[in-house]
Amino acid sequence: MKSPDEQAAPQSECPPQPTTFLDDEGFAAHRTEPLIAFLHRIIHMAVRILAVLMTAVILWGIGDVVWMLYQQLMAPPFMLLNINDILATFGAFMAVLIAIEIFINITLYLRDDFIHVKLVMATALMAIARKVIIFDYDKITPGYVYATGVVIVALSLGYWLVTGKGAAARVRPCAPEED
């Protein structure tokens, strides 16, 4: 017999959601199809190779930043940077940070069977920010600047929709029932 508290508690109106079973590698389990399972193992190994290569790119990028700073600081005027040197340094730093974001995307792909839209959009925003930081306004057209602005607004709106208040406004306890 249920207590009065248990009887008064509202029951969930949402139907149970289907469960996806993932294997050890994070891919949807296809135990009945050996070819698909074999192909998933190949893809998993390819992603691991990409992670190793991206680590090498990050280390190479760090070395490039150090070498660039050394060359710029040792060139006359000694230990002084002009605005072009500073912007080039910012661009090199941002390139390394973007490579790190891509590495994180790769490693998350190893863990899960879906693309993390929030992280991919954040990486794209960082890449476009790098582009804006290193703009040479003497060589680009106003149309290029406007188009870049449109891309930034679109990515920002998409990021807002995926995270934060945009996502919270769309959260519903369950999907509406069809008549």
User: Which ranges constitute the DSSP H helices of the chain?
Assistant: 4-8, 34-74, 83-111, 117-133, 142-162, 164-170
Q: 107 versus 167: which is more confidently predicted? A: 107
Closest C-alpha to 110, from 177, 49, 179, 158 = 49
| Half-sphere CA count of 174, side-chain side, radius 13 A | 10
Every domain of the chain and the residues it spans: 22-170
pLDDT at position 111 is 74
Which tens digits make up the pLDDT trace of 24-58?
Answer: 555 555 556 888 888 888 988 998 999 999 999 99
- The fraction of the chain above a pLDDT of 70, given in percent, is 72
Closest CA to 128 of 156, 105, 109: 156
8 Å CB contact between 92 and 65: yes
| pLDDT score of 150 more than 50 | yes
pLDDT at 16 exceeding the cut of 60: no
Mean pLDDT of the chain: 80
> How does pLDDT run across 49-99, given as a tens digit for each residue?
999 999 999 999 999 999 999 999 998 888 888 888 888 898 899 899 999
* Residue-level pLDDT at 172: 53
Output 153 or 101, whichever has higher pLDDT: 153
Provide the pLDDT for residue 117.
Answer: 84
Residue 132 has pLDDT above 80, yes or no: yes
Tell me if residue 27 falls in helix, strand or coil. Answer: coil
